[in-house]
Chain A
């Protein structure tokens, strides 16, 4: 049976594709028959010529049955289809303008959608590269200031015997390292200190070498390192003999024992880490329930369900709150499936919004095409009527329309893949992270399948209207009317207007979203609340612990380097700090204010905490409102001093002066009181995330020395970029092993800081521009057609004395009315999207009112422009010609 099927297929394919040979074979077959006939007649005694003519008589003309034979060559369905396709191609080729616009519209619409799908595919749909990653949870300690915090090592140790009920819980500690080798400049590497079961939880073993052995997590044995595949390639040239090689981390020799596989560089999770070290917690770090440095990731045991895991994790938190209320009273634990946070916990909203918006673009493209096709079909009404009158069935009538739609969708789909490829390249370039980790959106088969399906659905969506039109065609009317086409009856006119209104409504939503976001992001990037970024160079350096072990050593280096920097020509002042609060400020302290009762655990006032050198406020230009700045009097041995921000002063002391009031850390048994000596203005970060903590607190660097330093240098009379090299030279002269990262003008850092939002902004903008352009094209098409079909009417109006301006007004108002209706309808969606954006980016200013007004104006302007071109044509109608054409 299969063989028979195969034979059928082979025969028919051969017939289909090798017509020439078939024809030749038929000829010789018939010739053979003819010759046999001649031979027979000759055998009966005729002469050669007699036999020949007798055979011709007998044979008759061969044309008719040759054609019959040929018919049998094509399987009829296939042949019909082929004929219809050829017909449709010819018909499309006859109106190249329409075809071009249709294909481009589709390519852009489907392309936008396909690119969006490739992003969703890359972020959400593709599983993380860890076996059974659905069994992994990120475990957070939740406090009022941090919904995604870490845990103190002592707390974790306390739970050790209970964690087994959940499965495996690995811990890791953030902390960049300086990495150096003899003869090469030091670099700062993104690093994690990880527990021994870390790689087990990720179900990933090193590609080369080994993971950490038990015992190596103990301080002293911890000088081994596993590096990322990226670092192996970039820094060590993929050398196979790298295992056993020694590098210096923070000044200490460490042996490379493993190289992670490339898959572990997945940008969605852990991909940014280049150096993995054993935990090696120091004695200081091990004790105390205050420093929540450990971050947790767990792999559930096979028999633990998601619900059980959630309960277990919550149980750990309440257990700690019970056992150590001082540190944990107001905190709880929660687990979040790794699959949810792989794209960032809040990004699902953003992604869903983008997918929705790209769908809007596609919808606009579809309705545009429906309109175009409808107009085209109406123009061919007479042709359809004639065919229907000649007996074409409704199937036969619709078939060419359906095939035209499918062909357009197919071409559009191919165009969409090209658009998606371009978008893909753009995204890959735009979304490359600082250490080269790349957001990878593979264009795999599922993306292609999406483009195909989208094209197909689109074809159906925009093909239906004209098909319905063709079916409901009133033959009598169409054949009677003198013109070759028709404007369509009232119902069809209404449908086309509705399509335009819908397009404008969708365009309104797209435009509002994009405008809000553009304004919000530009506001973020230009927000300099409490500091000044012009003429400022910032950077980060890390003092290797091995060489700078004591507070004195750190302070000495800081003082020396700042002195040298300040002596540079062009430098006004220089400072170091734990953080640059306008960029990020993650550290918090819980406080006890003198004169009040010791606050209940978990209810202490909490402030963001920073350590700064004396010239800090001057350098970043954060004004002090009151009191004095830190200076040389504030040393490690002098009284602790604080500078607090305006919000904290008002929050704690109301209208009273905070100067001279005393604060202490709320942790520990006996308070170590320090004095408030100054009040600064509030500093706002340039990032869009919400900042629940508004209190800001500074202490002198000398009292809270830190290995990781943010450097700020204010320049004058010279472009900050020009200072970068001399700053770097000054620092490396002091210590050649010092890794100095991201040393660049602050404005460059800012421009780079929100680059992912920049990508988002550009995507939103391109959706909006695309949607608006398509809507403009749509309204232009409809108005232009209406003008063309109302030529005689306008002619009569002009003949009867209408002014040209009347005609123009008539046309313009019909276009503008549609746009206005659309904008009004779009307001609902615009409100929706502004609410969505506001929820997704709480620290971003979204000024709804002016944006809604301006987008409505833009839409009307676009509609006016799109209607103006046809209106001008209408105005040029010469009444005599218009009436003669009738």
Chain B
């Protein structure tokens, strides 16, 4: 399947990360893997954008980080959603959905007119 164009829409990166953390606390590598997996490799997060984003989210207190032990037994930095982060995830999801719906409507212009 064709990869989605490289530049993600602004703001979607945060949403992707927040969503991927919504069920479990993960380290950076797993976040990237999970997004790749779920998006069937159409979305891939490079570490170059992943880590700055994670640190930015941590700075906003949407996620918090804790050092833990990975499956392979190595110490790794695990991120998890905070309450604010969870709220933010909901808001952003709503936002995205309505944006997507709006986009879809515009793209289906011919059908509607």
Contacts and interface: CB of A to CB of B under 8 A. Distances in A.
Interface string A41-70: 000000000000000000110101100110
Interface in B65-82: 67, 70, 72, 74-77, 82
B64 interface: yes
Interface in B9-26: none
Contacts of B58: 11, 72
B51 to A, nearest CB: 6
A131 to B, nearest CB: 51
B52 A65 contact: yes
B60 A29 contact: no
B55 interface: yes
A29 B77 contact: yes
A214 interface: no
Contacts of A4: 61, 82-84
Nearest to A74: B59
A42 to B, nearest CB: 12
A564 interface: no
A35 B72 CA distance: 11
B55 A69 contact: yes
B48 A60 contact: yes
Contact of B77 (A12, A32, A65): A32
A30 B52 CA distance: 11
A30 B60 CA distance: 21
Contacts of A37: 29
B47 interface: yes
B55 A33 contact: no
A720 to B, nearest CB: 81
A36 B72 CA distance: 10
Contacts of B76: 29, 32
B10 to A, nearest CB: 15
Contacts of B74: 32, 35
Contacts of B29: 32-33, 36-37
Contacts of B77: 25, 28-29, 32
A69 B64 contact: no
Nearest to B52: A68
B59 A65 contact: no
A710 B49 CA distance: 96
Contact of A72 (B48, B52, B72, B75): B52
Contact of A12 (B52, B59, B67): B59
A15 interface: yes
B59 A72 contact: yes
Given A4-B82, A28-B75, A30-B47, A72 B64 contact: no
Given A35-B74, A72-B56, A30 B51 contact: yes
Nearest to B74: A32
A28 B75 CA distance: 9
A75 interface: yes
A33 B47 contact: yes
A32 B61 contact: no
B59 A11 contact: yes
A689 B87 CA distance: 77
A73 interface: yes
Contacts of B48: 60, 64-65
B36 to A, nearest CB: 11
A35 B76 CA distance: 11
B82 A65 contact: no
B89 to A, nearest CB: 14
Contacts of A28: 75, 77
Contact of A7 (B47, B52, B55, B82): B82
Contacts of A59: 47
A82 interface: no
A261 B47 CA distance: 74
A8 interface: yes
For the residues of A in contact with B, the DSSP-based class is helix
Interface string B77-111: 10000111000000000000000000000000000
A69 B54 CA distance: 9
A7 B56 CA distance: 14
B28 A29 contact: yes
Sort chain B's interface into a size bin.
20 to 34
B33 to A, nearest CB: 9
A32 B70 CA distance: 10
B64 A29 contact: no
Given A28-B75, A29-B28, A69 B60 contact: no
A65 B70 contact: no
Contacts of B56: 72
B64 A7 contact: yes
B82 A69 contact: no
Contacts of B70: 32
Contact of A8 (B27, B61, B72, B75): B61
A65 B83 contact: no
Contacts of A69: 51-52, 55
A26 to B, nearest CB: 8
A75 B59 contact: yes
Contact of A15 (B49, B52, B59, B82): B59
Nearest to B51: A69
Nearest to B53: A72
A32 B52 CA distance: 16
Contacts of A30: 47, 51
A4 B47 CA distance: 27
A11 B61 contact: yes
Interface string A4-41: 10011001100100000000011011101101110100
Contacts of A35: 74
Contacts of B55: 26, 69, 72-73
Nearest to B30: A36
Contacts of B61: 4, 7-8, 11
B61 to A, nearest CB: 4
A65 B47 contact: yes
A794 B84 CA distance: 71
Contacts of A15: 59
A9 to B, nearest CB: 9
Given A7-B82, A35-B74, A36-B29, A29 B59 contact: no
Contacts of B72: 39
Nearest to A25: B77
A267 to B, nearest CB: 56
A73 B58 CA distance: 9
A823 B34 CA distance: 82
Interface string A850-867: 000000000000000000
Nearest to B70: A32
Given A4-B61, A15-B59, A29 B51 contact: yes
Nearest to A22: B55
A30 B50 CA distance: 11
B75 A33 contact: no
Task: Tell which of B56, B59, B64 has the most Cβ of chain A within 10 Å.
Answer: B59
Nearest to B77: A29
A75 B74 CA distance: 31
Contacts of A64: 48
Contacts of A73: 55, 59
Contacts of B52: 65, 68-69, 71-72
A69 B48 CA distance: 9
A75 B60 CA distance: 9
A64 B72 CA distance: 29
Interface string A129-158: 000000000000000000000000000000
B59 to A, nearest CB: 5
B49 A65 contact: yes
Given A12-B59, A25-B67, A35-B74, 8 more contacts: A3-B83, A4-B83, A11-B58, A26-B55, A37-B29, A64-B48, A65-B51, A72-B55
11 contacts: A4-B82, A4-B83, A11-B61, A29-B27, A29-B76, A30-B47, A32-B76, A62-B47, A65-B51, A72-B52, A73-B59
Interface of A: 3-4, 7-8, 11-12, 15, 25-26, 28-30, 32-33, 35-37, 39, 59-60, 62, 64-65, 68-69, 71-73, 75
Kindly list the 3 A-B residue pairs having the minimum CB-CB distance in the complex, ordered from nearest: A68-B52, A72-B56, A8-B61
